[in-house]
Amino acid sequence: MIFFSTCATTPQLTTHEAANQFVKAINQNDVQALLKLSTPPFYVHNQQWESAKDGYGFVLGKRDQMILKDNEKLSVYMNMLNRELKIDSVDGEYIPTAEYPRFHDELGNFTLE
């Protein structure tokens, strides 16, 4: 599971619409749209899952966090993302940072810094 934080909004796009456009840009291999929808600092959280020790289901594994602090690093990352990622869902989902604690069981402690 990968979380992206800091997709840009514009007067023409709400946060939910920006999330949807981001997903569509990934699936359409549109790096320029990804860059237009993103602003540094851009946070990438990659949450791994592993089998539960009791053999039933999954539990949180290692989480990697990356902060892309400038446009050059963001561009390199978006080009890599464009090559390696496809998203099954048609729609992206915007989750306000105030709601992150609701997902503590699924994602553990989650901070932007």
How many other C-beta atoms lie within 10 A of the C-beta of residue 27?
Answer: 14
Residue ranges, the chain, pLDDT below 50: 113
Task: Say if CB 79 and CB 103 are below 8 A apart.
Answer: no
Please give the pLDDT value at position 72: 95
pLDDT of residue 14: 77
CA dihedral 4, 75, 84, 107 (to 10 degrees): -20
Residue 43 forms beta bridges with which residues? Answer: 5, 67
Look up tokens 């592993």; give the residue: 50
DSSP character at residue 4: E
Return the amino acid letter for 38. S
Residue 73 confidence (pLDDT): 95
